């Protein structure tokens, strides 16, 4: 191995360890946040006993879960039953590998360790684990894997409720995978690249995609909700019908693993929305952050990225504690009959707009963004207000009956 390669491997290992630990602590904090916020929304206080403001509640719960008896049903497929929680957890973690969390950090070192030899690294280090050239495609590929964990958990439990939960999960996630895939086609179209650093850079040059692709942003967020199995799309769990769906038979730390997977999904989902549509680590109203990399720049952009992610995590929680659950046919109708046609039309309109803007010589900058924003505002109005009055969103409950 050359010294440069060794330096790269060393840095990658450090990044993996750091990201993993931050994610684990983050998951605990998000669980605490969800419990506190949900309590506040119901005029309660929520857990505030363990540690300052109850911050260590998740630690206590973790210890409790480790101490609990681990029950495996006799009829269960033992191997898959044990593997399933990990299978649902790993894809959620993997996605984070390609998300840039801050501006590149300048790292220069050149040292020699007795047995291992020389380690060299110079120049800016991208603040992500893997700067993959396939970026978004990797996220879609890995994201679809997370359905396996849930389906296998449901199937291997040998329980009818679990099986139904698993089936629902697969149907739902496969359907919304389509909507999710189409809803960021707009991002790829504008950025002209699939790597996330390029997408972020393009947003710094023109406008955040939340303005240039408002409709795409809304639909992406909705399908993201469905992908993470959060309310109002948490049909795999539905206590009222399926006990708790796919994890009915799970206990102890395996059960906690599903929870960790869900909250990891929330964090990565929020980070993804922030990267694709809110400019990632971009600090608004300044181009200072995209200049030469310094340590201060990295830290500040990291803080901004964390704030954006935290905002979307909050929105996830906010939606969960407001909206009731969809019926399953409503869910499928929303996915296939509303989101898919709207997205296809959107891609067509967006492509035409970009073509027109290109032909008059606008390809970035403020007027370009403003034109796209106006186009999006009109589309959002059409989709959510004109169509909503005819209750397209509600499906077939509304029929005009002649009096």
Could you tell me the smallest distance in angstroms from the CB atom of residue 400 to other proteins? 9
Binding residue (CB under 8 A) for other proteins from 259, 321, 328, 336: 321
- Distance separating alpha carbons of residues 313 and 315, to the nearest angstrom: 5
Task: Classify residue 237 by its DSSP letter.
Answer: T
Name the one range near other proteins by CB under 8 A: 191-199, 245-253, 319-327, 366-374.
319-327
Q: 4: helix, coil or strand?
A: helix
> Of 234, 212, 258, 249, which is closest to residue 86 (Cα–Cα)?
258
Binding residue (CB under 8 A) for other proteins from 10, 37, 72, 167: 37
Binding residue (CB under 8 A) for other proteins from 318, 329, 358, 360: 318
Binding residue (CB under 8 A) for other proteins from 13, 20, 21, 40: 40
Given the complex with other proteins, which of 220 and 305 has the nearer CB atom? 220
- State yes or no: residue 393 binds other proteins (CB under 8 A): yes
- State yes or no: residue 403 binds other proteins (CB under 8 A): yes
CA distances from 14 to 9, 11, 114, 119 (A): 9, 5, 20, 14
How many angstroms from the chain centroid is the CA of residue 47? 26
- State yes or no: residue 311 binds other proteins (CB under 8 A): no
Could you tell me the smallest distance in angstroms from the CB atom of residue 215 to other proteins? 14
- Distance separating alpha carbons of residues 47 and 238, to the nearest angstrom: 24
Pull the structure tokens for residue 168.
Answer: 């629902």
SS3 for 71-125 is CCCCCCCHHHHHHHHHHHHHHHHHHHHHCCCCCCEECCEEEEECCCEEEEECCEE
Given the complex with other proteins, which of 45 and 79 has the nearer CB atom? 45
Given the complex with other proteins, which of 359 and 403 has the nearer CB atom? 403
- Distance separating alpha carbons of residues 180 and 123, to the nearest angstrom: 36
- State yes or no: residue 396 binds other proteins (CB under 8 A): no
- State yes or no: residue 52 binds other proteins (CB under 8 A): no
Given the complex with other proteins, which of 142 and 339 has the nearer CB atom? 339
Name the one range near other proteins by CB under 8 A: 33-41, 107-115, 148-156, 268-276.
33-41
- Distance separating alpha carbons of residues 304 and 261, to the nearest angstrom: 25
Name the one range near other proteins by CB under 8 A: 4-12, 265-273, 285-293, 385-393.
385-393
């Amino acid at each position: 191995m050359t010294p440069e390669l060794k330096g790269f491997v060393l840095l990658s290992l450090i990044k993996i360890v750091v990201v993993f630990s931050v994610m684990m602590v983050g998951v605990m904090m998000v669980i605490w946040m969800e419990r506190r916020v949900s309590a506040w929304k119901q005029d309660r206080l929520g857990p505030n006993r363990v540690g300052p403001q109850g911050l260590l509640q998740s630690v206590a719960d973790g210890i409790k879960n480790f101490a609990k008896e681990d029950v495996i049903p006799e009829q269960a497929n033992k191997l898959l039953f044990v593997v399933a929680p990990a299978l649902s957890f790993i894809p959620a973690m993997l996605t984070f590998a390609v998300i840039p969390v801050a501006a590149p950090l300048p790292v220069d070192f050149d040292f020699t360790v007795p047995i291992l030899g020389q380690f060299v690294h110079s120049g800016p280090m991208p603040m992500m684990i893997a700067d993959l050239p396939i970026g978004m495609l990797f996220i879609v590929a890995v994201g679809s894997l997370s359905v396996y964990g849930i389906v296998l958990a449901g199937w291997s439990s040998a329980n009818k409720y679990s099986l139904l939960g698993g089936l629902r999960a697969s149907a739902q996630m496969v359907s919304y995978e389509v909507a999710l895939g189409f809803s960021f086609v707009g991002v790829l179209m504008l950025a002209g690249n699939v790597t996330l650093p390029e997408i972020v850079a393009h947003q710094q040059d023109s406008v955040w995609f939340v303005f240039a692709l408002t409709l795409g942003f809304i639909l992406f967020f909705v399908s993201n909700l469905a992908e993470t199995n959060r309310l109002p799309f948490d049909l795999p769990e539905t206590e009222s019908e399926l006990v708790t769906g796919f994890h009915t038979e799970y206990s102890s730390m395996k059960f906690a693993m599903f929870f960790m997977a869900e909250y990891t999904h929330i964090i990565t989902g929020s980070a993804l929305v922030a990267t694709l549509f809110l400019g990632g680590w971009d600090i608004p109203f300044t181009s200072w952050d995209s200049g030469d990399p310094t340590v201060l720049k990295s830290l500040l952009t990291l803080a901004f990225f964390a704030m954006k992610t935290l905002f979307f995590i909050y929105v996830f929680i906010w939606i969960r504690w407001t909206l009731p659950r969809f019926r399953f046919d409503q869910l499928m109708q929303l996915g296939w009959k509303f989101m898919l046609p709207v997205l296809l039309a959107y891609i067509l309109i967006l492509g035409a707009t970009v073509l027109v803007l290109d032909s008059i010589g606008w390809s970035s900058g403020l007027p370009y963004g403003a034109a796209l924003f106006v186009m999006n505002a009109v589309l959002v109005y059409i989709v959510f207000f004109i169509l909503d009055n005819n209750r397209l969103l509600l499906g077939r409950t509304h029929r005009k009956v002649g009096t």
